[in-house]
Amino acid sequence: MRRTKIVATIGPACRAPEVLVRLVEAGMDVARLNFSHGSHDEHAETAELVREASDRAGRPVAILQDLPGPKLRIGAVRDGTVVLPSRSELTVVCGPVDDRVGDETTLYMDWAGLARAIEVGEAMYLADGRVRLRATAVRAEAGEIDAVVEVGGAVASRQGLNIPGPADELPAVPEEDLAHLRAGAVIGVDLVALSFVRRPEDVTFVREHTRVPLIAKIEKPQAVARAEDILRVSDCVMVARGDLGIELPIEEVPMVQKRLLALAGSLARPSITATQMLDSMITSPRPTRAEVADVANAILDGTDAIMLSQETAVGAYPVLAVEMMASIALHTERHAPYKLWNDTRVARETGDPSYTVAHSACQAASDLELDALIVPTLSGRSARLVSAHRPHVPIYALSPGRETVRRCGLMWGVRAASMARFEVTEELIAGAAARVVELGWCQPGQRVGITAGLPSGRPGSTSLVQIQELPHPSEAWAKPHHHRR
């Protein structure tokens, strides 16, 4: 059973129903919808296609809504893509983009403040840093910047632009993102990723507008500096290496990635490692050796999930890319330091028995050579805490909530399915034992640990783990039912 989860971005290359089914069968656990592109109607249609593919493939798939955030973006360009030749000159016009279309000599920028934030001699980056402009003249009142193309290349419509410095005038959460958030609620997304988070207040502000779990994308130096505060108010973290590698000196990114993944583990927050993981597979059926090593090292660093962006959205081999991710993960996980992770990975939260129970369950799985850990959960929190400790046995999460089942798709080592809701702890344990046998995940006679809480049916009340041999279904239900308390 593969433990590391796979996030795949849905785009033109994989949006066809049959391709989506193959993506799910290949191992896609989370489908990412990038709201920087496309209309709300298009995303709603894509979400429905993902749900249908999930049903056909027989595997739950979570839908992740990725908000654009306060990112600088150019407007439309002629034919969708233009090539900026090296040593050529152009003008960046700042202000409302409207229907204006850029070309090799003029680009339009959707933020009027850019001309006030840039000084002569400073660099601007496009195409994830592959194209570099250098400002040669700035007319702030007119909102215009003249620039020379130092490193040329292709740029696409609505592509992001990075500048040095913090650009403090940008709103923390644009009104456009709140509109996207409302559209996501209508669609029924399972997770929301916040781009260009700079401080914890950015996350808490969005939380006032949604009950969906929030993923903080770390891609700004300010976010790296305040990472612990940001993670404590977030449900998950994404190490977004694309913009991070532009905003920070690129040689610093590997160690920042390691620190962020370790911090996420310490706080028991699921983590996603993203950007250019199998970038060559956009055009090649086989990744480079360096890319394979990059994916494997992220897994050994403790990431919960690995993400594909252009590889699946616009690449020539979307299904092969997911299959390759799954293959690398399966091989790498055989060599993971499970004992070290279980002993040291998660910081103990004093006064919270759920952390202690999760650690004890994982320790019992090792000491008693259990076959699995079974985690009934309402919100997914209990499964998240067990997952964070990285047990060497499968984690089977069972929940009456369909959303919870799907959201478990982002948690390392967790396989989730639905089950009935029980109000009595003894019945919950018996029902969970019977359910994993019914699903074919476990066999009668196997020895498992089952977590539960007193009282049952209340989120966050996990306070015990019971070790038992799984009975034959006829034996399980031959026992008299306990009366409801």
Name the one residue in this structure whose structure tokens are 């934030």: 117
346 in helix, strand or coil?
coil
Say which residue, 111 or 93, is predicted with more confidence: 93
List the catalytic residues: 32, 73, 217, 275
Mean pLDDT in residue range 456-462? 69
Kindly report the pTM of this predicted structure: 0.90
Q: Sign of dihedral through CA atoms 332, 337, 339, 343?
A: negative
pLDDT at 477 over 60: no
CB atoms closer than 10 angstroms to residue 42: 12
Q: Say if CB 372 and CB 441 are below 8 A apart.
A: yes
44 within 8 A of 187, measured Cβ to Cβ: yes
Q: In 241-294, at which residue ranges do the beta strands (DSSP E only) sit?
A: 271-274
If one compares 243 and 260, the residue with the highest pLDDT of the two is 260
Q: pLDDT category, 169, cuts 50, 70, 90?
A: low
Nearest to 152 by CA among 123, 134, 130, 128: 130
pLDDT over 90 (residue 21): yes
pLDDT value at 258 more than 90? yes
Give the pLDDT confidence score for residue 481 in this predicted structure: 39
Amino acid found at 359: H
Contacts for 364-368 with beta carbons within 8 Å, 24 or more apart? 364/449, 364/465, 364/467, 365/391, 365/392, 365/393, 365/449, 366/338, 366/339, 366/342, 366/391, 366/392, 368/447, 368/449, 368/467
Between 163-172, 401-410, 467-476, the lowest mean confidence (pLDDT) is in 163-172
- Contacts (Cβ under 8 Å, ≥6 apart) of 262: 301, 302
pLDDT value of residue 165? 65
Environment class of 44 (CB within 10 Å of its CB; exposed 0-12, middle 13-18, buried 19+): middle
pLDDT > 70 in the chain, percent: 95
| Mean pLDDT over the full length of the chain | 93
Domains and CATH numbers, the chain: 5-69+172-334 (3.20.20.60), 72-162 (2.40.33.10), 339-478 (3.40.1380.20)
Collapsed DSSP state (helix, strand, coil) of residue 339: helix
Look up residue 436 and give its two tokens: 């994993």
**480's tokens:** 């008299």
Q: What is the mean pLDDT of residues 434-442?
A: 97
